[in-house]
Chains A and B, each alone.
Chain A
Amino acid sequence: MSAHGHSESFISKYIFSQDHKTIAKQYLITGIFMGFVGGFLSTFFRLQLGWDGIDLGFLKGVFGNYLTDTGDAYTLAPDKYLALVTMHGTIIVFFVLTAGLSGTFSNLLIPLQIGARDMASPFLNMLSYWFFFVSSVIMICSLFIETGPASAGWTVYPPLSALPKAIPGSGLGMTLWLVAMALFIASSLMGALNYISTILNMRTKGLSFKKLPLTIWSFFLTAILGTLSFPVLLSAALLLIFDRSFGTSFYLSDIYIDGAALTAQTGGSPILFQHLFWFLGHPEVYIILMPALGITSEVIATNARKPIFGYHAMVISLLGISVLSFIVWGHHMFVTGMNPFLGGVFMIVTLIIAIPSAVKTFNYLATLWRGNIHFTNGMLFAIGLVSLFISGGLTGIFLGNAAIDIPLHNTYFVVAHFHIVMGASAIFGMFAGVYHWYPKMFGRIMNKKLGYIHFWLTFISVYCVFFPQHFQGLAGVPRRYYAFTEFEFAEVFIDLNKFMSIAAIIGFGAQFVFLYNFVTSMFNGKKAGRNPWKANTLEWSVENPGHGNWPAAIPEVFRGPHEYSKPGVALDYLPQWISDEDLERGVDYDNEAHDPVKKEITVKPTETIKEGE
């Protein structure tokens, strides 16, 4: 039963739900599942990287076709190593950090923080989740087909992706990858349309763009990036499908092996694919990162009990990052033989991104400076994000520079850079969000001690896995290699590889602490009040929101989102829904009973906008 008295069946409430909060939970749970799959795949190949030829017989039951029987051991098949890295990348980049992160928090927070009863189109929102779900199922299924999943890397460069007979994963696995991604793109677009429409049109009275929480700013700009860039990936994928299945020559050229022509195509350009792919691919980095940055802004301001330092600068830097993200894709392609002048342009615009990024990190640190810091689990992960964003961002300055990127291209230096700055940072932002908004999702608080264990194990293991990779990369160790035991120059890293693999196993193990905490806290967690963190934004004005969010009228907004520790105000927070008159009257908003937000239905909804009307 929702606040508005319409009854719902089990299916319409939990399965094909049109309530944005349920959809957010669906995204989150699917995202966590996909996160475990992606994390498992990386642990799987880290075993091989740490101990070349290790017996993986214990995985034979489920992953039998990934192993080869050498007589005395079941080792990872070399071609399946490529499958594992490809699927790890695809799953984490798209299914966890795009849909899992943005899908969860955009859905949960956009209507709640802007004061809307739901998304502009709840139906489209539901459709968006189910497209994502089907896409996830197809991607997971592709792991278990006989020839193995797609193996051309998460960037699926042709010809490995375009020529079905190139490697085992280029066949059915690649086809399933493309089908899953087409559904994924449709899902992302439906989500983005909704987010933009909702934020632009459904903000409550008083909520101008200048008072918008930074989470909403980041979701809004992320949705715009998605709307502009995902269609380009779709175009790239369509041309790839035509090359694969119909014999066109967009990307495929004449390939000869042993003097025999392998393809009927002539004159295709694999570089064209790279242009189209990275036109999405680079904004995609920010599609992943910006929601995490937005979440961090809110979590840090709330738990430092201070207004975010430089709100306007934060918004302008998000805008700057969004605009720049569309004109830097060439920095992924410095080694494609591009015109050096063009390379120079891409280099300069890439390095300019350091400015808004530095503004953001400076502002995070300035917000923490002399704050009354509450080390909640969410806060720890938010601070962890800042740490990773700085460490990973610094190496971005190296790689943005064409002269340094060319020797470092395709080495472990790149792997270290993007795992820290984009992968781990965004994951930390996601964890910060889960711990912080768990009370709004499930009405309870996650166990703090387990949260600490989860944080420290994850934080330390992330650095232990990825920091040494910089040194490997500088020594010229290439990525995507099955083993390094055959190369003399890489022998010095054999022990380091073991160390990184052990750290990776510990890091993956730590996620089970999170999973246990996540599941058990739903039932045994400490009950959260309406506003456990004493935060200012609108979602904390309502307890356990039903469908429609506020049982009575939607609260009006009177102030910005970060009025913490305001001079002259008794409490160290001042919610957005408290007016100056309320303040003068001395309303005790710390006490739920006296809060001006109405809990009872006082006005009967007369007219409603119905679906499809």
Chain B
Amino acid sequence: MSVLITHKGETNFKIDPTQFTIWIFLVSVVMLFAAFTSGYIVRKAQGDWVNFELPPIFMYSCLTVVLSSATMVAAQVAQKRAHKGQMQLALFASLLIGLAFIYMQFVGWNELMDMGIYFVGNPSGSFLFVISGLHAVHFASGILAILVSLLRSFLLDKNEIQSQKIGAVAIYWHFVGALWIYLYLFLSNA
């Protein structure tokens, strides 16, 4: 059931309404992580803080997010040119690289635990697990969104593919990628 309310031409949305809402949503996600990272700084300044080196795998996971953003851009270009197959391939690649990212995060967490850094213990470790874990949750929701877009694209024929809204998914995907790069730089330097 759809509710038909707003007539086209009666609004002055300059960008797609879903994309617009996503942008505002991202502002609130920024605030969430800003709260965690500033909490990190405040807590660290109070002492009783165990310093440790981040496992290098977290740096490699930064590279995967860059790569997956590139494949996402490729998907959008293919969509613009109405190359359905190429678009699906690029979406699938983003999905796979995204899953690889999550796997790498798990490996990183395991390495941390091997180093004796646990979720429960000194707040430096707790913060790391909370921040990277919550980021992974956001990232996983991005993977889900790509999966939905990919499955939907199979229902559309070649001419309809250009009207599929993958723009909002792409914005979110680039955002969660960039967020991890920020968080990595923050956690390895702060």
Q: Interface of A with B (CB < 8 Å)?
A: 4, 6, 12, 18, 116-118, 120-124, 189, 192-194, 196-197, 200-204, 227-232, 234-236, 238-239, 242, 246-250, 266-269, 271-272, 275-276, 279, 547-548, 554, 605-613
Instruction: Using CB atoms, name the residue of chain A closest to B18.
Output: A121
Q: How far is the CA of A295 from the CA of B182 in the complex (A)?
A: 41
Shortest beta-carbon distance, A41 to chain B, in Å?
30
Which one of A227, A554, A610 lies within 8 Å of B10 (CB-CB)?
A: A554
A117 touches B7 (CB 8 A): yes
Q: Which of B34-42, B83-91, B100-108 contacts A (4 or more CB under 8 A)?
A: B34-42
B21-79 with Cβ < 8 A to chain A = 21, 24-25, 27-29, 31-32, 34-36, 39, 42-43, 46-48
Interface 9-residue window, one of B109-117, B118-126, B170-178: B118-126
B20 interface residue per 8 A CB criterion? yes
A268 to B134: give the CA distance in the assembly, Å.
20
Question: Are B122 and A232 in contact, CB atoms less than 8 angstroms apart?
Answer: no
* Chain B residues positioned under 8 Å from A547 (CB to CB): 3, 5
B12, A202: Cβ atoms closer than 8 Å = yes
Residues of B within 8 A of A (CB): 1-14, 17, 20-21, 24-25, 27-29, 31-32, 34-36, 39, 42-43, 46-48, 119-123, 126-127, 130, 134
A122, A193, A269, A275: the one contacting B3 at CB < 8 Å is: A122
Contacts of B119 in A (CB 8 A): 242, 246, 248
Contacts of B27 on A, CB cut-off 8 Å?
Answer: 227-228
Q: Are B7 and A239 in contact (CB under 8 A)?
A: no
Contact (Cβ within 8 A) B20 A116: no
* A6-B4, A229-B31, A608-B6 known; A201+B120 contact, CB < 8 A: no
Which residues of chain A are near B43, meaning CB under 8 Å? 250, 269, 272
Instruction: Look across to chain A and name the residue whose beta carbon is closest to the beta carbon of B46.
Output: A269
Q: A122-B5, A227-B31 are in contact. Are A267 and B48 (CB under 8 A)?
A: yes
Q: Is the beta-carbon distance between B8 and A609 smaller than 8 angstroms?
A: yes
User: In the docked arrangement, what's the CA distance between A248 and B36, Å?
Assistant: 15
Question: Which of B5, B13, B130 gathers the greatest number of chain A CB atoms within 10 Å?
Answer: B5
Across the interface, do B1 and A12 meet the contact criterion of CB distance under 8 Å?
Answer: yes
User: Are the CB atoms of B6 and A202 closer together than 8 Å?
Assistant: yes
Given the known interface contacts A202-B11, A232-B32, A249-B123, the answer about A275 and B42 at a Cβ–Cβ threshold of 8 Å is: yes
Hey, which chain A residues are within 8 Å of B20, CB to CB? 120, 197, 200-201
- Contact present for A120 and B21 (CB under 8 Å): yes
Q: Is the CB of A4 within 8 A of B5?
A: yes
How near does chain B come to A417, taking the closest CB pair, in angstroms?
27
Question: A612 and B32: CB pair below 8 A?
Answer: no
Given A202-B11, A235-B32; A4-B4 close (CB under 8 Å): yes
Expressed in whole angstroms, the minimum distance between the Cβ of B102 and any Cβ of chain A is: 20
Inter-subunit contact A607/B7 (CB<8 Å): yes
**How far apart are the CA atoms of A613 and B29 in the complex, in Å?**
25
Contacts of A613 in B (CB 8 A): 2
A197 contacts B17, CB within 8 Å?
yes
What residues of chain B lie closer than 8 Å to A279, measured between beta carbons? 35
Does B123 lie within 8 Å of A267, measured CB to CB? yes
Closest beta carbon of chain A to B189's beta carbon, Å: 21
Asked if A609 contacts B6 (CB within 8 A), the reply is: yes
CB contacts (< 8 Å) of A235 on chain B: these are 32, 35-36, 39
Q: Other than the known A120-B21, A189-B28, A609-B7, what 19 A-B pairs have Cβ atoms closer than 8 Å?
A: A6-B3, A116-B6, A116-B11, A117-B7, A120-B17, A200-B20, A231-B28, A232-B31, A234-B32, A234-B35, A239-B130, A248-B123, A249-B122, A250-B39, A267-B123, A272-B46, A608-B8, A609-B8, A609-B17
Instruction: Please give, as numbers and ranges, the residues of chain A lying within 8 Å of B14 by CB-CB distance.
Output: 201
Is the pair A18, B3 in contact by a Cβ cutoff of 8 Å? yes
The 5 closest A-B pairs by CB, nearest first: A235-B35, A267-B48, A231-B32, A608-B4, A610-B2
B39 contacts which chain A residues (CB < 8 A)? Answer: 235, 239, 250, 272, 275-276
A249 vs B127: C-alpha distance when bound (angstroms) = 10
A247 touching B17 in the complex, CB below 8 Å, given contacts A4-B4, A279-B35, A611-B2: no
A547 to B1, CA, bound (A): 15
| Pair B17/A201 contact, Cβ less than 8 Å | yes
In the bound complex, CA of A586 to CA of B9 (Å): 30
16 A-B contact pairs sorted by A residue (CB < 8 Å): A12-B1, A120-B20, A122-B5, A194-B21, A200-B20, A204-B10, A231-B29, A234-B35, A239-B39, A248-B130, A267-B48, A268-B123, A269-B43, A275-B42, A609-B7, A610-B4
Cα separation A192 to B27 with both chains bound (whole Å): 12
A234 to B138, CA, bound (A): 15
**Bound CA span A228–B123, Å:** 25
Residues of B close to A250: CB separation below 8 A: 39, 43, 123, 126-127
B130 touches A238 (CB 8 A): yes
CB-CB under 8 A from B121, the residues of chain A are 248-249
Contact B7 A201 (CB under 8 A): no
Please judge, given known A-B contacts A193-B24, A201-B11, whether A246 and B120 are in contact too, CB under 8 Å: yes
In the complex, chain A residues whose CB is within 8 Å of the CB of B36? 235
Residues of B within 8 A of A248 (CB): 119-121, 123, 126, 130
Measured between alpha carbons, how far is A202 from B130 in the docked complex, in Å?
38
Closest chain A residue, CB of each to CB of B9: A607
Q: Is the CB of A608 within 8 A of B7?
A: yes
- B4, B25, B46, B126: the one contacting A242 at CB < 8 Å is B126
Q: Are B28 and A228 in contact (CB under 8 A)?
A: yes
Contact of A276 with B10 at beta-carbon distance under 8 Å, contacts A6-B4, A610-B2 already known:
no
Cα(A612)–Cα(B10), bound, Å: 18
Bound together, the chains give a CA A189 to CA B21 distance in angstroms of 11
Residues of B close to A606: CB separation below 8 A: 7
Complex Cα spacing A117 to B4, Å? 10
Q: How far, in whole Å, are A572 and B169 apart by their CA atoms in the complex?
A: 52
Chain B positions within 8 Å of A267 at CB level: 46-48, 122-123
Q: A406 to B2, alpha carbons, bound, how many Å?
A: 57
Residues of B within 8 A of A204 (CB): 10
Q: Give the contacting residue for A227; candidates B1, B28, B46, B48; CB below 8 A.
A: B28
Identify the interface centre among A18, A228, A267, A612: most chain B CB within 10 Å of its CB.
A267
Min CB–CB distance A162 → chain B (angstroms): 13
Distance A611 CA – B165 CA, assembled complex (angstroms): 13
B120 partner residues in chain A, CB cutoff 8 A: 246-248
Whether A193 contacts B21 by the Cβ 8 Å rule is yes
| Contact assessment for A118 and B5 in the assembled complex, using a CB-CB cutoff below 8 Å | yes
